[in-house]
A and B are shown apart, each in its own frame.
Chain A
Amino acid sequence: MNLTMLLEMAADAFPERIAVTAGSESLTYAQLLAAARAAGATFRAGACEYVALLDVGGAAVPIAIFGAAYAGKPYVPLNYRLTAPELQELLARIAPARLIGGADHLQALTLPDAIEAVHTQDFVASALAAGPTAIEAPDSDDAVAVQLFTSGTTGKPKAALLRHENMLSYILGTVEFGGAGVDDAMLVTVPPYHIAGISAVLSSTYAARRLVLLPNFDAALWLRLCREHAISNAFLVPTMLSRIIEQLETEAQGAPPALRAIAYGGGKMPQAVIERAMALLPDVDFTNAYGLTETSSTIALLGPEDHRLAAASLDPSIRQRLISVGRPLDTIELQVRDAEGRVAAPGAAGDIYVRGAQVAGEYRGLGRIVDDEGWFPTRDRGWLDADGYLFLDGRADDIIVRGGENISPGEIEAVLSEHPDVAEVAVVAMPSEQWGETVAAAVVPAPGARADGAALQAWVRERLRSSRVPEHIVFRSELPYNDMGKLLRRVIRAQLQES
């Protein structure tokens, strides 16, 4: 098994269909296949052991992904938002490697030994200019297809490994070959170093869908591209959807006419945002996809029908499914386990474990992090309802342990965000001499609202047990998020401890 099979099949059945559009460049599947083979031959000929990419996007992304697969070398997309010293450290860990990078990104770096850099535009140009290349992809079930450095909340970034069989299991299990219509086009705005940016390339290829890449997200530009390219499908993180809604509400143009489906994931979707999005875009199918890097992307889905049924329901237990991540894929087994490691009853929160062929759960130097029966601890917390819908409840690492009592930040945040003076809130642990840890909150006040900590404490006290009342409340003009819209709790914890 090799990822190249996806591209070879698409190019065999749909050679003339457009595979990817980036800026003014477009490649057909036949051209993409030829370019990937040519790139693969150069990667194989060199001394490199990895193929790294340091760029915002473009046709280089699918050429590098499939080219690395032809060469049998791991593809390593790097986060271009990291500092030069951070990037240099990561590059030293993958030397010898070929590095494909934008001129501005490369310029800022002092390259470690045995890193052979090539400018993105030269890489694409030479791959496209090469004639037909005879190359057989290695049959590499257990070879590493992709290596992704995790953001590293503590210590050095870990190198998550995804093998060809993990990623192929995911794609073959979830995508119908050639399932896209001839006019379908997918707009991708997640960066190439994110797992969703990689799976978008693979899924689109196997579905034979045209992929349109937008490197730097901007809501107005996103809407313009949707109209210009007759975009039918898109993937967004919640903060992007939120900005698109605001833009739609200020524009007079209405929804992009070809847009049929929006999938979202990568962070918690506020119920108000998805409700507004569904009201503004009634003809669009919404799908919530939950997954992790270590699981080769999506493991649970809340599909369009689930969204519509939940939004139309007066039954609170059905209505709340709008904020669930749906049900596990048929090809995935999922368990919620309590503190003793037993499978939790419906409604009871615990740690989420998953098992299945797409679950890699592996890091370079650390091996596979699975138990004896192959279950991978996601470190996400959550609970299942009676019908098997999964609700997430933060990260296991974010649980506040106050005097032996486990407190989930989520329930306190939910109560605080209902207060009219609160625009955004994050609840985190603070060290406490008396309790070990105690509850603290960072609040962004609503526009024009007072910053009254005592009033917010009273609000929580009226609604939750006294142990949940934040001992410290600080007010901020904004909360720290990463570029995928994920709240950076470790930054808040550090700021609170300093103050």
Chain B
Amino acid sequence: MTVLKPGLALKSVTCTTDVMVIRAPAGSDVDLRCGGAPMVPSRGEAVALDPACAQGSLIGKRYVDAAEQFELLCTKGGEGALQINGEFLAVKIAKALPSSD
């Protein structure tokens, strides 16, 4: 279990995926996984990717749960799929803003 808070960076142990927490309810202690294995603050020993959790993550995309309580930014892409408490996260469609600077 990991306590998520905005700004926290986490890494996958099954692939190259890195994420940063954008939004999370205060004090939320969750089971955040990538490629089937829990994500960690710094990469240690590699764990085999679970083929059932290999839909991949894409750099620069935001991932949310269905209730949009949690939002993660993928800062490095990889082969594993992101899950929170067993639920696969989906790419959030960003609202396009005009370039202002």
Listed in ascending order, the chain A residues whose CB lies under 8 Å from chain B are 1, 5, 8-9, 12-13, 139, 141, 165, 172, 174-179, 186, 196, 199-200, 203, 207, 233, 235, 261, 263, 265, 285, 287, 289, 297-298, 301, 303-304, 329-330
Work out how many contacts link A and B, with CB atoms closer than 8 A.
Answer: 71
Q: Given B73, B77, B101, which contacts A298 in the complex, CB threshold below 8 Å?
A: B101
Q: What chain B residues lie within 8 Å of A329 (beta carbons)? A: 97
Q: Given B75, B96, B101, which contacts A179 in the complex, CB threshold below 8 Å?
A: B96
Q: Is the pair B94, A176 in contact by a Cβ cutoff of 8 Å? A: yes
Question: SS class of chain B's interface: helix, strand, loop or mixed?
Answer: loop
* CB 8 Å contact bits of B3-27 with A (1 = contact, 0 = none): 0000101000000000010100000
Write the nearest CB–CB distance from A340 to chain B, whole angstroms.
Answer: 33
Q: Is the pair A172, B98 in contact by a Cβ cutoff of 8 Å? A: no
Q: Given A1, A141, A179, A287, which contacts B100 in the complex, CB threshold below 8 Å?
A: A287
Q: Is B56 on the interface with A (CB-CB < 8 A)?
A: no
Q: Is B47 on the interface with A (CB-CB < 8 A)?
A: no
B21-76: which have CB < 8 Å to A? 22, 59-61, 73, 75-76
User: Which residue of chain B has the shortest Cβ distance to A300 in the bound complex?
Assistant: B100
19 A/B residue pairs, CB under 8 Å, sorted by A? A1-B9, A9-B60, A9-B76, A139-B9, A174-B97, A177-B60, A179-B96, A186-B99, A200-B101, A207-B99, A261-B98, A263-B99, A263-B100, A265-B100, A265-B101, A287-B99, A298-B101, A303-B98, A304-B98
Cα distance, A329 to B97, chains bound together (Å) = 9
Cα distance, A42 to B61, chains bound together (Å) = 33
User: Which residue of chain B has the shortest Cβ distance to A329 in the bound complex?
Assistant: B97
Q: What chain B residues lie within 8 Å of A285 (beta carbons)? A: 98
**6 shortest interchain CB distances as A-B pairs:** A177-B60, A289-B100, A287-B98, A199-B101, A298-B100, A1-B7
Q: What chain A residues lie within 8 Å of B99 (beta carbons)? A: 175, 186, 203, 207, 233, 261, 263, 287
Cα distance, A421 to B7, chains bound together (Å) = 57
Q: Is the pair B9, A196 in contact by a Cβ cutoff of 8 Å? A: no
Q: Is the pair A196, B101 in contact by a Cβ cutoff of 8 Å? A: yes
Cα distance, A233 to B9, chains bound together (Å) = 32
Q: What chain B residues lie within 8 Å of A177 (beta carbons)? A: 59-61
* Contacts A1-B7, A165-B7, A175-B97 supplied; 16 other A-B pairs, CB < 8 Å: A1-B20, A9-B60, A9-B75, A12-B76, A13-B77, A176-B60, A177-B59, A261-B99, A263-B99, A263-B101, A287-B99, A287-B100, A289-B100, A298-B100, A298-B101, A301-B97
User: Which residue of chain B has the shortest Cβ distance to A232 in the bound complex?
Assistant: B99
Cα distance, A8 to B94, chains bound together (Å) = 21
Q: Given A9, A207, A330, which contacts B59 in the complex, CB threshold below 8 Å?
A: A9
Cα distance, A93 to B9, chains bound together (Å) = 34
Write the nearest CB–CB distance from A215 to chain B, whole angstroms.
Answer: 17
User: Which residue of chain B has the shortest Cβ distance to A261 in the bound complex?
Assistant: B99
Write the nearest CB–CB distance from A236 to chain B, whole angstroms.
Answer: 11
Cα distance, A233 to B100, chains bound together (Å) = 10
Q: Is the pair B60, A330 in contact by a Cβ cutoff of 8 Å? A: no
